[in-house]
Amino acid sequence: MTRHPSFPKTRLLYALLAAAGALLLVAVLLPWSRAAVPDALVPWLAGIGSAGLGAGLLLLWSPGLLDIYPRASTLRITLDVGPPVLLYALAIDGWPGLLDKLPAGGLRIAAAFLPALLVLWACRAFVRYMRLLDELQQRVELVSIALAAALTCILAAAAGGLHSAGAVQVTGKACLWVFPLLLLAYSLIRAALTRRYQ
């Protein structure tokens, strides 16, 4: 992995991304500005703001994070990974309501597997992405996903134990957040490993 040069302009762009995300997040959460935003858009704008803030801070902390992507294949990677992740985000918001509208039977059972199929699609895209990397980059990716999976399993087991003990109530919809939690842990761990190899 090549060492990422510390270009002031690049760091400025990352800082602007983080600042824009923070401003959007604050604007959505402030009572006087939230009143002007439709309730249906609040979660999405908050998500976009959080993503921008998080991505900007990660890139400021680990500027070489984007160097792991083969430049010539950036569009292909985006087209492979983007759709299942975006559709999964939509499923978290609208999938439970869709199930409630379907009558009991085969169609409802088939619709219940929709999130799992989207995760399978994302896994296929990840395998295709791995084939584009060299050995060191593959090692970073595999260690990142392994540690992220371990952390996610630990948190899921802890949540299950607390639920069984009656300390917290874990709903079925909470299971939909396991995949986003895995992606978040993977992103943070990969940023730390990328910084280590710079």
Q: For residue 62, how far is the Cα from the chain centroid?
A: 17
Residue with tokens 């309730």: 39
How far is 37 from 40, CA to CA, in rounded Å? 8
Domain count, the chain: 2
Q: By residue range, what is the domain housing residue 150? A: 72-197
Q: Same domain for 126 and 86? A: yes
Q: Same domain for 130 and 163? A: yes
Render pLDDT for 96-130 as a digit per residue (tens, 0 to 9): 777 777 777 777 888 788 888 989 999 998 888 88
How far is 126 from 120, CA to CA, in rounded Å? 10
Cα-based angle 120, 65, 134 (whole degrees, multiple of 5): 70
3-state secondary structure 33-73: HHCCCCCCCHHHHHHHHHHHHHHHHHHHHCHHHHHHCCHHH
pLDDT of 8:
63
pTM above 0.85, yes or no: no
Q: Are 67 and 1 in contact (CB under 8 A)?
A: yes
Over 80: is that where the pLDDT of 135 sits? yes
Contacts of 37 (CB under 8 A, 6+ apart): 28, 45
Render pLDDT for 28-80 as a digit per residue (tens, 0 to 9): 777 666 656 666 666 667 777 777 777 777 777 766 666 666 666 667 777 88
Sign of the C-alpha dihedral, residues 171, 177, 178, 184?
negative
67 domain-assigned: no
Average pLDDT, the chain: 77
pLDDT of 85:
85
192 domain-assigned: yes
Q: Same domain for 166 and 84? A: yes
